[in-house]
Structures are given as structure tokens and as C-alpha cells.
Structure 1
Amino acid sequence: MYAHFRRLLLSLIVLWSCAWNTEAAAAPDYCVSTPAELLDALHQWETLNFDVVIGLQQGTYALGSTMSGFFDGDGRTAGLKLLGGYNAGCTARTVNPTNTVLDGLNQPGSYLNFRMNADAVFLLEGVTLTRFNTNQFDVLSVGAVTHGDEGIYAVKYCRFLNNTGGQSLIHMYGAQMKVLNNLIAKNTLTDAFHPGMVQLFYADGFDSFAIVNNNTIADNTGAPGIVVNSITVNGVTSSDRTSEIADNIVVNNAGADIELGTFSTENNLLIKGNIYNVAHYALPLDSSNLTVNPQFINSAANNYGLAVGSPAINSGLLYQLYGLPAHDLFNGVRVIGSQIDRGAIESSLNNLTTAIVTNTGDNGNNSAPLAGSLRAAIRSANLASGPYQINFSLSGGCPHIINMSTEMLDVTGQVTIDARTLSGWTGNSDYGRFDANLCVVVNGSGATPWAFHVPSGASNARLTVHGMMFAGFTDAAIRLDGGSDHRISGNQFGAIPFTSTNASAVRVSNSSGRATIGGFDDPTAVNLIAGSSAPGIYLDNAAGGNVLGNNIIGFQRNGRDPASNQIGVYLFNSPNNYLLYNYIANSSATGVTISGAASTGNILQYNRIGQDYAGGLPGNQGAGVAINFAARNTAIGAPLLGDYGGNFIARSVGPGVWISPSGGNGNRVLSNEFFDNQNVDIDLGSAGPSSNQASNPAVGPNQLQNYPVLTQATRSSGANPSITVNGNLNSTPNASFRIDYYLATACDATAPGRGHAYSHLGWVNVNTNGSGSAIIVSTLTAPANVALNRISATATSASGDTSEVGNCVTVNQAIVTNVIFSNGFE
């Protein structure tokens, strides 16, 4: 009977998984194959008010100087993506810059220059730029004129070879600037005014940061390799964000390879894992940065791969703040050995000892496990003296079910368990839904606490798990109590037919160091966290520092139907964690709970809490985010000086954000947007709206920060309308406060007279006088949507205490007096 049931289960899982691998990738807006078509598509983009993707079919585009001049997207929020590697008709794509070449033909005046809106997206990916020639301009320039801090300008998986430019080869001026996994070699710059092969400028008022990771920048003349500027004639450009320069090979460039002479030490910077010859920076570089010969295979022939014996192989960082690249320059596997290779090209050299799982059997015996089983492979990994990899080679089609009836051996070494090696595996292709075809199911059947466990005493352990499914574990499918730099990516936890739930999917606890759960810029790294009877992800390690990125929490594989966890993500006495770009909904309690006095410095940005990827709003059965038991200094949304990072929090059966009576102070809630929560959008103390205090600070969560009281708001007429708001704030004397304004189509129905923080309008700073009073008069740019005619505000102190959303007033339309009649010309 059991065998019959197992065959039935297997067949159902096969049908269920196959059903999710039939959807084609979205086609680009423009599919081009000639220079004329490319030029026309760019000119079309200049006229549009929506984001545009231009797909370049594989081949060489003899552009010459036809692309010179500015392509202007400023004044509109239309983003632009130029993506190489498409086949004829743009039905499939291979990201490899050798297959799509933009050739300037060495014609004078050949360059690419894009003026972008500060809040728009620009991406150049998977192309080669060669023989562009401009002595006056940058070869590739992407810059903003207006102010904003949401824009992302990125160049990824590209080659720049044998170009001649003026000041810069790649020049960016904006908020989020990313140069990732490119080859930049044998280029020449001719202008001595602040030149740089990669030159990135912090923009005043943009809250800028730069990510320059895993590039090979070599053998260039006329300028340094990497230049990042945050000091201008006006002084230091302030920013709350952290820049990262990591795992690059930057050698044989003119002057310094890494030039940070105009980068202020007041700005946050991680500079680690690079190979270089000369660097200029006010602070010493740590020992992870090396001044050695990277040993290219044959740079004279433009082969910048790594030769056997190169110090760049298997020596990069275990952890990059913004996640490891999805693949290498030529679309190869990015991490083959124990660590990522430095530079743009991953070597095939693997320093891992490998065991192969050849059967799905499990005898439950940790001392004498079944040969060829997963249990035997983990035992071999623990006995190994160095990094170890476990791959799978199983006969038959996917999926393969491993049923465990006893507790698995602890993982005590540096172990990678990778089920992507099985034939039939395909990775997830999108964010917000899960269409991966995973081939290995580990089933605890409710009989064992976990599939994989790193014990607290294993301080040198590191566990990486790719491409597996887990069900039926009574503690957590993966529990990390020790070690550090763990990676959990591309897995499915729960929502597997005819299996029991996991208590939790992943728990990071006790003495464990940081773990990365999910990832960025790589949809194959997304995890599905579904149907847990306890918190889906449980973080209570004292070291904190975990990163949760792009996970799908509380959904079935289609990203729409519910698969409820008790709580989506639970943090207890764990500091400095990052929750970014996750979908979190359908929890039977809260979406996210942060608890305990040691929970400080946690950041939640760009999450969709209560929303699915298609825009549906299933909500959560408690607060969207709850902060309890003295948890403090949480950033929910923007930093104190920025607009970026807002979360969308919807349909909570309770407040959107609840800083409960036991919650701590310094919890800022900024630039988020809320919809249809069943209690106030931001709630301090006992459930429901609270009145302002006689003065601040007061005893209670966020020191019961008072909200602004608005008295009137008026929308001006004309082509560029604005909204002028009047009001007052009574709070701490002689103090500075950030006032955030929110628009909605109606006041908050759950709290008569109070506002609804549906659409963030903007913010200003005000200062109270000696009696704690501030008169507020603010003018902000009005949105086009005149139906957003109710306005309210929050106040946030310099220490990060955000108030509840204040009173709601109607935005009145200014009366335009008829000039002719008012002057007596009736």
C-alpha cells in the first residue's frame, strides 16, 4: 500500500511541477536587428511615458557615429533597458556579450549619451561596445538632471574593448549606480579633467550609492580604472546608503587602478576582495584586497580568463552586501569552487571535493548510512578536511523523493548541496511567482526536526543549499545554529501535494553568523516559503546581519493562491537584518514581527506585504508589520534623509504597521504606501488611533511622537500644479522633525477624522521653537491624479520616532479669478 501511495504521490508531483514550465518569457517592446531599427526604437522611447525594453538580436551593429547626441528621457519617468542576446524574433535570449556587438567603427563622434529621469531605470546588459571614438564626450554616459533617489542606472555583463573616449568610458550621475560583471580592457581616454574608465558621481540630494562588483578592468590608458566621487566644490555629498567595491580585478590602468581621492570617508563604503596595483583612498584597504598579478590566460589576445594558479580563482568574498552575480560574463556558472572568483570571468577550476548522491534511499543510520545516499554524502562531507560539494545523479525523471524517518547528521564543515546538477532542473524565471522545476524532494514526514542542521559548535561551518524541495520537518527544514555566510537559494519549502507542513522553512539561530536567503538580480535565487505552521523564516541569531531578498512568502507556486505561514518573517533579538523585495502575505498572524530589545538596526525596504505579484491583495491576518518587546531603531521604508525604499502594506487584519505598547523607540516608518488595512496605517501603543500627547517625548513606543495637525491644503491650477499645506506640530522643544505628507481619495474609514497614507507625496523638515511648537507651511509638487484630494501627515524625530498618521483635510482647488471681469471690463 505504501509503495502504491508513493507512486501516486510521485505522479501527482510530476504533473504539478510540469504545469509550471510552459510559460514563455515576456517579449521586449522593440525587437531590433539593424542600426536603423535600434535608432528608431530609441527615438520612440524619447516620446513615451512608460518603461521600454529594447531587445537586440544577436549580431554586429555597425553604428559608426549614427548614435551620437543625447537620447533624452529627462522630464519623464520612462525607464530604458537595452538588452543583447536575443534570437531572431526575440522569443529567447542568451546573455553573452560576444553575441551582440555595437561597433563604432572608429568613426569620430561615436558615443552613447542618455539623459534620464532621476527616478527612472536604465540598464545596458549583455552587449559589447567596441571602437567607439569621441575625444570630447564619454563613451557611455547616463545621468540625471532632476533630483530623486529611486533611479537605478546599471551596466551588467558587458564588454568595452578598444574604445577611445574623453573624460570617461562609463559615466554615471544618479542615485543607484551599478557596474556589475563587465570586462573593460584596452580602452583609451584623452581628457585629463577627472577621467576614469568607470566614473561614478554622487549627486547632491539623491542619496547616492555605487555598486562596482566582479569587473575585470585592465590594460587601459589615460585614466584610472574605478573612480567614485562624493566630494564636490560644494563639499561632501551626504548619503545614508552604503557603496560596495568588491571582487574586481583592476590592474594596469593609468595612475591609480582604484581612485577614491575624492570619496569622503563620511560616506559608507565596503571595499573588499579586489586585486589591484595602485589605490588612492584616505583609509587603508583590508587584507582581503590583494596587490598581485591576476595571471590572465592571454590578455594580448583579449582573453582575460584566469590561468591555472591565478590568485583570483576560488578566493573572492563569501558574502557581498548586494548579492552575488547570477552568472559570469559569458553566462557560465558563477560560483564553481568554494568561493566566487574575482573579476568578470569564472574559472572552471573547482577546489571542492565532490560526492554524488546516486539513490533516494535512506536507512536512517548515521554511523553506517546507505551507500550513495544523501546521508552518506553528508557524512563524507563532515569527514573531509576542506570545502565539499554534494551533487545528484539519479536515474529517471524528476522529481525524486528522499523520505527521512530519523534525524539527519549535523553539517559541520563547508558544504554545498546542489540539486541543480540533475537533468530536468530549470531555475525560476521571474520574481513574485515560482516556476522552477526542482528535482529533489526531502520529506521529513513529520518524524524528524530538520533536513539540514548546522550546530552551534560548528563555528567554521558554511552551508549552501540550491534547488531543493522540503516538507514535513517539525522544527525547521534548514536550521542554522552555527557557522556563517550560509546561502539558501532557489528552494521550495512547503506547498508540496500530499506532504505535511514544515514548522518553519529556515531558522537562523543561536551563534550562527549571517545567512543570505534568496538573492538579487537573479530570479533563480528566489525561495518559495509556504504553508509553515510556525514562522516561515525565523531569525533569532544574536549576530544578525542576515539578508532576505526576493522571497515569495505565503503563496502557492503561482504567486497568487494562498499557502499560509503562521507569521511570514519573525525576528527575535536579532540585529541589522535586511528584508528587501519580498512578497509576504496570507499569514495567519502578522506579515513580519520584530521583537526583543536586541532587535535593532533592522531594515525593511521595497517589500510587498499583503500583495501578490499580479496586484491582488490577500493581506495578512494580523498587522502587516508588528514591533514588540522593546525592538528599536527599525527602518520600515526610507532612511531619515531619503525617499527610497518604501514598502507597500495592504489588507492587514489590523494596523499596517503596529508599534505595540511593548515596542521600543526609534522605529521610523517613512515613504511607505498603505491600502485597505482594517486599522490605522501606523499605530502606536494600544490598538486603534491615539491622541496627541501634551508634549514629547512621552512614555510609550516611539516616545508617543505627536503627529502634525493640518489646517488646510490648496492645489494650484496650471500646467505644473502644486499643493500648499498649512498646519502645526507640537512636540519636543528646539528640535528638528521630518514631516511626511500622504494623499488618498478618502480619509481613514477605520479612524474618523484621521488620514490614510495611500500615496506618499513628499517630505520637508521643520524646527520647533522653545515651547515645542512649529508652524508648517509646505509646498509640494502635485500629482496628476486630482482624485487624490485628501491629505494627512506624520512627524519623525531626529532619533527616528515616527508618529501615527495625523488628521485628514481636503485638498481644495485654488479659485482662479477671472482677470477681465475683476478689472471692470464687463
Structure 2
Amino acid sequence: MLIGPGETMIGTKTESREARSKALALGLLVVAFMVAAMLLTARPAHAATFTVNSTGDQNDLDFPGGTFDGSSDGRCFTGDVLVIGDECTLRAAIQAANKLRGSDTIEFDIPTTGVATIDPDSRLPSITRTVTINGYTQGDARPNTQAQGTDAVIKIRLDGFDAGLTLSGASNSVIRGLAIGGCLADSCNTGIFISGGEGYKIEGNFIGVAPDGTSSLANKWGVILYDADGSTVGGTTPAKRNLISGNVFEGVLVTSNSSGNTIQGNLIGTDRNGNPLGNNDSGVALIFAGAGNRILSNSIFSNGDLGIDLSSTNAADGVTANDDKDLDTGPNHLQNYPVITSATTFPTFTSINGTLNSTPSTREKTRTFIIQFFSNTSADSSGFGEGKTFIGQIQVTTNRQGNATFGFAPTQEVPVGEFITATATRKDKGDTSEFSQANDVEEPVIGGG
């Protein structure tokens, strides 16, 4: 159980779910008021690059007391002059960017040799226009280069009860290279909250984890996609890998009919080295979400609930049973998971076999599914998942009864005593399942009798 500043321990799952429902509802109300206020004013028609050079929290001059005065000069300037020039805070940069049409950029050049910590006194403004916030422009920060884990160097830390970022209708915005944590106030509660719009990219961040990559810096939620489509959390390259761990509830929550999103290549529930640093609830939860949400090639491990939870109720509801021919409905169409029937390690290779029952192929259309395999040092307490180490994938096609069988040999042997799990993703639709039941890796049986 994780406890952040000002938090008390959450004693039961029931209390946890009631608390998060209240917190999320209040947070959404605050977001709605902020977005409405910001959309009422006109914006000059040009893009800009704003460079944050201060850890302060002052407003831009065009926002006395935090309220727009009706005239934007297109600059980021708090009114204070520093030794290095006119002061630009993150709050002022967001305020200035919200008044410009076009794709603005917020960079960092704060005079410090260590990590620059920004601790907002109140909730930061909602981002309502397309912007790229790039923490890797600060000092010697750099993205991850490792195939496993992450060696990213993070130099911008947003810390405190109101440290989270909210993006509302700011399609195609990018958030990169930040450590975000401590967002535990009712007005904040989420490291990165995305509401409305499409095409967002969240990449190379530590969310719920301090810049050292090993210490918890808990938010209530890590990332929420709320009525947001076609967005990506992570990506296909090491540089885009997020570390999303240590949060009080879900690491990533997809909700309110959000569809067509991709959660890929992240560390969810571990520290930068793969050691346990779990989110208190599910690693990834789709609750009242839409369809086509791909969950691929992540390391999801040591979370409090399921690694992946597809739920049509107002809370995580545990393993969703498979149904014949996959006719049920819900988030990701409640895609059936594979069934691992055996996992055997021979002297030179590991053999994994199993089946999938899902949407049948027809004469007119072939149904193809991506089966991804994972190895785990231990099985989840539910017996299903999680998926610590991605070890490869294959594609299978169902027959007219909806059945497919498969065999797979990863490029490296999996030690006897570890556990194999798998997910299924419908290739044409993008629906990813929950994790399969974990199957322990055994030695081959020689002889008989």
C-alpha cells in the first residue's frame, strides 16, 4: 500500500474504489470549469517556443492573479527579471501557449546542475492548444537507450499535490522527458490527465517515480485517457518508453469510450531496473472504454490487481472469463485471452503451446490475432498474468468455429520454474485481451511408465 504526502493508508479495496471514484469525479469537474474559461478568449495566430528558466510558479503578465486580462503579447514573462533574463515559469509558459494558434513548444533551461524541481502552489492551467513539452531539453537530460529497463536521465521534476498536467482538447500534443509525482489533491490526482481530442503522445516520462527511477513519487493515478482517441502512451523505440509505477490506483486508466489508443513498450509496475514498484491497483485498466485499444510489448509486473483489466463496471472487476466465439461486448469487445497448455524447457530451447478461441473466420474474411508471450518470475495472485518480460509474438488465424492452435519457441530459453503468460490482440481491430492464466515452465518428461 502506497502512502503519499497528506494521504492515509487505504484499508480495503472497497474504500479504495469509493475514494478514487470521488476523487476522479471532483477532478473532472475542476477540469471542465478550467477548459470552459480558457476557450472563451481569442488567440493570436502563430506558434512559438517558450523556454522555462525558473522553478518558480508565477503567472504570466497577461494573467494577473491567474485570470487572462484580454490581451496576449505572445511572450512568456512573469514580470520579474532574473540574472539570466526575463523569468518564464512553467505556469506562465502554459498560459502563453494557450493563447496561440499552432503547435507551440515548451523547453527548459533552468540554471542548475542537478534536477530542477517545480512544485506548483495550485493546479497548473489545463493545456488547451497543441503543444510539445520536452523535458529532455534541460541540462544533460537524455532519453532511454536500453532495450530492457530504462537508463533515461530526467532533469525536470514536477512534484507536489498539484503537480499533474491536464490536456483538454489539445490534440496532437506531446509530453516528453518529465518526472511527475505527488499529485494527490482532489483538484489534481493524476500525473497526466487527457480529456477529449486525439493523437496525443506521452513518451519517455517517469510517472509516479522520482528521477532516480527507483523511488516512488506517487500520484493517485498515473495516466488517464478520458474520451481521448488515437493516442500513444510509450511507443516502439526505447527512447519513448515511459516508467509508470508507484501510483495509488491504476498506472494507466482508459475510460469514457476512449478508443484506438496504443499503450506500448512501457515499464508499468517496476522500477527502472525491473524490480517491483507496483501501482496499487491494476497496471492497465480499461473501464467503460471503447474498442481498438492496443496494449503491446510492455513490461507489466508487480501491480496490486490485474496486469490488464477489461471492465464494464465502475471499478476493476477481476478476470473476465472467455466466452465461446467471443460474442460478448465491453471495453476492447472483452477480447478473449489465449490458453497456454504447456511450457517446456529442453536443453537448448523452450517450447510453448496453446489455443485461442475468438471471433471465427469466414469465407469472406480471415480473422488474424497477434499472440504476445511474456515470462515472469512469479505468477499474479489471481493466477492470470502478469507480463514482466516480453519474449516474442506470433500471428494465428481462427477457423470457422473460432479456434486456433499455436506453438512458439522464444529466441532465448526460459528457466524452469518461471511462468509464461500471453495476450491476444485482434490485428484488424486492435482489441487486446487481459493476460492469460500463468503456466509454469517445466522440464521435459523423459520416458514413461
Normalising by structure 1, what TM-score? 0.38
Matched, 1:760 2:354: no
One-letter code aligned to 1:725: I
Match of 1:743 among 349, 358, 375: 375
Q: Distance in 1 between the 2:87 and 2:219 partners?
A: 29
Unaligned ranges ≥5, structure 2 = 1-41, 111-115, 142-154, 209-216, 235-240, 271-277, 362-366
Compared CA separation, residues 566 and 773, structure 1 to 2 (3 A):
same
Equivalent pairs, count:
350
Q: Contact 1:723 / 1:779 at 8 angstroms: preserved in 2?
A: yes
Q: Distance in 2 between the 1:790 and 1:392 partners?
A: 47
Mapping of 1:262-301 within 5 angstroms? none
Matched, 1:595 2:214: no
One-letter code aligned to 1:675: F
Superposed CA deviations along residues 710-765 of structure 1, whole A, max 9, x for unmatched, are 11011121xxx32211110000112100001111111111x1x3222111111110
Q: Distance in 2 between the 1:620 and 1:488 partners?
A: 26
Compared CA separation, residues 607 and 412, structure 1 to 2 (3 A):
same
Partner of 1:539: 167
Mapping of 1:397-476 within 5 angstroms? 405=65, 407=67, 409=69, 412-415=72-75, 417=77, 422-423=82-83, 440=87, 451=92, 463=97
Q: Distance in 2 between the 1:793 and 1:583 partners?
A: 26
**Post-superposition offset of 1:520:** 4.6
One-letter code aligned to 1:633: G
Secondary structure of the structure 1 residue equivalent to 2:106 = strand
Q: Contact 2:46 / 2:100 at 8 angstroms: preserved in 1?
A: no
Match of 2:415 among 786, 807, 810: 786
Compared CA separation, residues 601 and 708, structure 1 to 2 (3 A):
same
One-letter code aligned to 2:253: A
One-letter code aligned to 2:104: H
Unaligned ranges ≥5, structure 1 = 1-381, 426-438, 444-449, 455-461, 464-479, 557-561, 611-618, 638-644, 818-826
Q: Contact 1:622 / 1:652 at 8 angstroms: preserved in 2?
A: yes
One-letter code aligned to 1:715: T
Q: Contact 1:731 / 1:773 at 8 angstroms: preserved in 2?
A: yes
Q: Contact 1:604 / 1:647 at 8 angstroms: preserved in 2?
A: no
Partner of 1:676: 302
**Post-superposition offset of 1:423:** 3.9
**Post-superposition offset of 1:481:** 5.8
Match of 1:483 among 101, 106, 117: 101
One-letter code aligned to 1:743: S
Q: Contact 1:627 / 1:658 at 8 angstroms: preserved in 2?
A: yes
Matched, 1:516 2:132: yes
Mapping of 1:207-606 within 5 angstroms? 405=65, 407=67, 409=69, 412-415=72-75, 417=77, 422-423=82-83, 440=87, 451=92, 463=97, 480=98, 482-490=100-108, 494-495=118-119, 501-504=121-124, 506-509=125-128, 512=129, 514-520=130-136, 523=139, 527-533=156-162, 536-541=164-169, 544-554=171-181, 566-585=189-208, 586-596=217-227, 599-605=228-234, 606=241
Compared CA separation, residues 725 and 622, structure 1 to 2 (3 A):
same
Compared CA separation, residues 482 and 811, structure 1 to 2 (3 A):
same
**Post-superposition offset of 1:652:** 1.1
The higher-RCO structure (CA 8 Å, 6+ apart) is: 2
Q: Contact 2:323 / 2:336 at 8 angstroms: preserved in 1?
A: yes
Partner of 1:625: 252
Compared CA separation, residues 710 and 419, structure 1 to 2 (3 A):
farther
Match of 1:648 among 260, 263, 268: 268
**Post-superposition offset of 1:486:** 1.7
Q: Distance in 2 between the 1:745 and 1:693 partners?
A: 29
**Post-superposition offset of 1:813:** 2.4
Q: Distance in 2 between the 1:547 and 1:810 partners?
A: 40
Instruction: State percent identity of aligned pairs.
Output: 26
One-letter code aligned to 2:373: Y
Q: Distance in 1 between the 2:373 and 2:444 partners?
A: 19
Compared CA separation, residues 401 and 681, structure 1 to 2 (3 A):
closer
Secondary structure of the structure 1 residue equivalent to 2:433 = coil
Compared CA separation, residues 442 and 408, structure 1 to 2 (3 A):
farther
Q: Distance in 2 between the 1:415 and 1:453 partners?
A: 11
Secondary structure of the structure 2 residue equivalent to 1:695 = helix
Q: Distance in 2 between the 1:386 and 1:809 partners?
A: 56
Partner of 2:324: 694
Matched, 1:727 2:354: yes
Q: Distance in 1 between the 2:73 and 2:386 partners?
A: 52
Q: Distance in 2 between the 1:589 and 1:811 partners?
A: 36
Normalising by structure 2, what TM-score? 0.68
Q: Distance in 2 between the 1:769 and 1:624 partners?
A: 36
Q: Distance in 2 between the 1:764 and 1:812 partners?
A: 22
Secondary structure of the structure 1 residue equivalent to 2:127 = strand
Matched, 1:607 2:242: yes
Secondary structure of the structure 1 residue equivalent to 2:431 = coil
Compared CA separation, residues 528 and 766, structure 1 to 2 (3 A):
same
Q: CA RMSD in A?
A: 3.8
**Post-superposition offset of 1:781:** 1.7
Q: Contact 1:744 / 1:788 at 8 angstroms: preserved in 2?
A: no
Superposed CA deviations along residues 2-47 of structure 1, whole A, max 9, x for unmatched, are xxxxxxxxxxxxxxxxxxxxxxxxxxxxxxxxxxxxxxxxxxxxxx
Superposed CA deviations along residues 477-514 of structure 1, whole A, max 9, x for unmatched, are xxx2652222222276743xxxx73213x5222xx2x2
**Post-superposition offset of 1:413:** 4.7
Q: Distance in 1 between the 2:439 and 2:55 partners?
A: 58
Bigger strand share = 1
Mapping of 1:163-182 within 5 angstroms? none
One-letter code aligned to 1:507: S
Question: For the pair shown, which has the larger CA radius of gyration, 1 or 2?
Answer: 1
**Post-superposition offset of 1:631:** 0.1
One-letter code aligned to 1:797: R
Q: Contact 1:401 / 1:440 at 8 angstroms: preserved in 2?
A: no
Q: Distance in 2 between the 1:483 and 1:493 partners?
A: 29
